[in-house]
A and B are shown apart, each in its own frame.
Chain A
């Protein structure tokens, strides 16, 4: 079992040698080329979206890729990550001692801001504002539990103050017909060094939190998050490492991002896209 201190030290360790720029360019070109040919049989108005959950679904339950997606409706579990991250950020910033103390005030502040200005930081503010007390308690309980798991996984006093909590998903659109959109969502983006000339920022580590247990291909899945982050902008560095946390299982894993791991992530993105295409064409997956 990894201790909190060991896990934090491993996360913040000096970055390994960065992926060479030529290797990065080569992998990106390979990815764009392969994705383009895979999606060619689909209608040009039928875009493909690949995310980490889709990566796992294609591996574990490929038959379900073709199932209709339910219309979106807010539920407490859709709020818990964004509210939980805001709670952990407030705790890490010293505003509150613990997630349970923070969760009510942080939610109230977001709803209050929306009521006053109409600005929706999290999008769920109008839904939460309209909830009865019993339903609101479920939302807060879900977020407090999620935040407590992350809060107790790292030594926050060691985490750099300008780390990013949540924020917009990384995404990259492959200019194929139909387009393929790769999306990556990470919970934390932690700077490891100051960077250098020609770089918007220095080396970073990503942290991803998942439910359940890690799959046997956790390494590729974590590397996929680094791949999408590196595709987003050529001026951003390839993340140096990705730490995955599976609080339900009490497990953490990390992967150092080198050329080989990035290549495996490219392959996984390609095979996942192929599985999605097969499901849409009603071919055996």
Chain B
């Protein structure tokens, strides 16, 4: 797989294009960094420093590859990979088993929901393919930091500034029903634990402020953009939500960049997440995104990957594999606990109780270890 790493020198800029294509450089007079003192040209740097300002944007814009064209044939091929694979493996398709015909008055069956988290779980160990959020959440400082940095990144993109990071982040979580428990957990922190969290959030927020330039509104930056694609007559739904999508919808060639911001350290599954996003965006749009990237707020790294046909086909095969495992899990036809899975083997030792006889995953309190920091 061709990968342009952050450490490599970047190529010469492409000729500038019109507004809205992510090629033109917009410099609002008001805010945030141009590459300032201490930020050297990436072509000349001898030791690694986080990119900032225009250099960071150029890293996203210039992938060293031509931008993918609008390719209906590619989209058809990817759909074919997914749908033929789903059709070939019918194990686990729920026909209700009651012999009754499905009529117009019957409730429409819910599609099998495939998210990046479920893919990780299913591909790591099929016994853990249950939906995220199916049990009580356990909280940690790293999870809290991730949520706070997520909303602060969104704030920076939308309004161009962050005030008091902890106050702004908590105010944002307070109006999100899905984060009410986490908000309560953070508010309940006291003493050194809260000071430590505050210090890390402030450090990472300062990095965001210093490194991320104002995005030209003509690029239509969207935060927390939902993406959904139905496959196989609506029986399977791929679902994703990306931290940042930039670029107007494609006309003749790819024009969208997708960025995921994370407060944690690099993990191998982050690349797989990006590939999944690229696949879903490709299936719902006239063209693939031209680039996907993860921004690491902890270090300032920007891990950039241009989107190619090969990347998309591999992502489709991985998604198919995961979707089939999830379907088997949900129908109760999947395998039980695996001795090769560290979490399963803990359970098999019997310390935390027997594996349920019906093959469903055990309670989340015993095995739910978050995959993302």
Contacts and interface: CB of A to CB of B under 8 A. Distances in A.
Contact of A135 (B72, B171, B249, B251): B171
Contacts of B177: 75
A271 interface: yes
A198 interface: no
Contacts of A132: 167-168, 171
A251 B108 contact: no
Contacts of B229: 213, 249-250
A178 interface: no
Interface string A91-133: 0000001111101100000000000000000000000000111
Interface in A1-20: 1, 3-4
Contacts of B140: none
A138 interface: yes
B117 to A, nearest CB: 18
B269 to A, nearest CB: 24
A211 interface: yes
A149 B224 CA distance: 12
Interface residues of B, number: 47
B261 to A, nearest CB: 13
Contact of A148 (B163, B220, B284): B220
B169 to A, nearest CB: 6
A1 B177 CA distance: 35
B276 to A, nearest CB: 16
A58 to B, nearest CB: 9
A1 B229 CA distance: 13
A216 B218 contact: no
A135 B228 CA distance: 26
A52 to B, nearest CB: 16
Interface in B205-238: 215, 217-218, 220-230, 234, 237
B78 to A, nearest CB: 13
B174 interface: yes
Given A60-B108, A60-B110, A145-B224, A98 B171 contact: no
B220 A152 contact: yes
A152 B249 contact: yes
A144 interface: yes
Nearest to A63: B107
Given A75-B177, A145-B224, A151-B220, A134 B168 contact: yes
Contacts of A62: 107
Contacts of A213: 228-230, 234, 237
Contact of A249 (B158, B174, B284): B284
Contacts of A152: 220, 248-249
A134 B170 contact: yes
A76 B178 CA distance: 12
A248 interface: yes
A187 B225 CA distance: 20
A137 interface: yes
Contacts of A99: 217, 220
Nearest to A1: B286
A283 B55 CA distance: 64
Contact of B175 (A138, A211, A215, A249): A138
B351 interface: no
A216 B228 CA distance: 15
A138 B248 CA distance: 22
A237 B281 CA distance: 39
B172 interface: yes
Contacts of B285: 1, 250
A133 B163 CA distance: 8
Contacts of B70: 1
A148 B248 CA distance: 9
A243 interface: no
B220 A134 contact: no
A212 interface: yes
A134 B107 contact: no
B275 interface: no
A212 B251 CA distance: 23
Interface stretch (B119-127, B131-139, B149-157, B313-321): B149-157
Interface of A: 1, 3-4, 59-63, 75-76, 97-101, 103-104, 131-142, 144-145, 148-149, 151-152, 211-213, 215-217, 248-251, 271
Cβ-closest 10 pairs across A and B: A134-B168, A250-B284, A134-B171, A132-B171, A137-B155, A100-B217, A98-B217, A134-B172, A141-B158, A135-B171
11 contacts: A59-B107, A62-B107, A75-B175, A98-B220, A103-B158, A133-B168, A141-B224, A152-B220, A211-B226, A213-B234, A213-B237
Interface of B: 70, 72, 75, 105, 107-108, 110, 151-152, 154-155, 157-159, 163, 167-172, 174-177, 215, 217-218, 220-230, 234, 237, 248-249, 251, 284-286
